[in-house]
C-alpha cells in the first residue's frame, strides 16, 4: 500500500502517525502509530499502546510501550513464524483495525 492509502484510513482511526518505513518505490513496509487514548507522558517520553500496519495494511499491536516522539522504531517481520516484532517484542494481530487496500472495503 502507498502512504496516501494508509494515511487516509489511519486518520479515520484517530491514531498518531509516528514513523513510516518504506520499501523500494512508493510502497510502505511498516507504518508505526500510537493510540493517543492510551498515552501517559512522563519526562518527555510516552507510554502507551503502539500499532503497526504492515505492507498489506494488516494491524499489529503491542501494549504498554515507552517511546519518544521523533524516535525510530525497530520493526521486523519473521518470515518463518509469520509474526511481526517491535523493539524485539512479539506483536499480536489486531484484525479489527486492518486497513482496506485500494478497491477493497
CA distance 47 to 6: 24
Q: Cell numbers at residue 38, please?
A: 492510551
| Nearest-angstrom CA–CA distance, 77 and 59 | 13
Q: How far apart are CA 48 and CA 37, in angstroms?
A: 8
Please tell me the pTM assigned to this model.
0.91
Instruction: For residue 12, report the phi and psi dihedrals to the nearest 5 degrees.
Output: -65, -35
The predicted-structure confidence for 89-104, as pLDDT tens digits, reads as follows 999 999 999 999 865 5
Q: In this predicted structure, what is the pLDDT of residue 103? A: 52
Q: In this structure, is the dihedral angle defined by the CA atoms of residues 56, 24, 82 and 92, taken in order, positive or negative? A: negative
User: Which residues in the chain come in under a pLDDT of 50?
Assistant: 105
Amino acid at each position: 500500500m502507498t502512504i496516501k492509502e494508509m494515511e487516509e484510513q489511519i486518520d479515520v482511526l484517530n491514531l498518531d502517525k509516528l514513523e513510516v518505513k518504506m520499501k523500494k518505490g512508493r510502497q510502505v513496509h511498516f507504518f508505526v502509530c500510537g493510540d493517543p487514548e492510551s498515552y501517559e507522558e512522563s519526562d518527555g517520553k510516552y507510554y502507551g499502546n503502539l500499532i503497526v500496519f504492515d505492507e498489506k495494511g494488516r494491524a499489529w499491536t503491542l501494549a504498554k510501550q515507552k517511546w519518544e516522539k521523533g524516535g525510530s522504531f525497530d520493526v521486523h517481520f519473521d518470515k518463518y513464524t509469520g509474526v511481526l516484532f517491535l523493539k524485539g517484542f512479539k506483536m499480536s494481530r489486531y484484525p479489527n483495525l486492518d486497513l482496506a487496500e485500494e478497491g477493497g472495503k
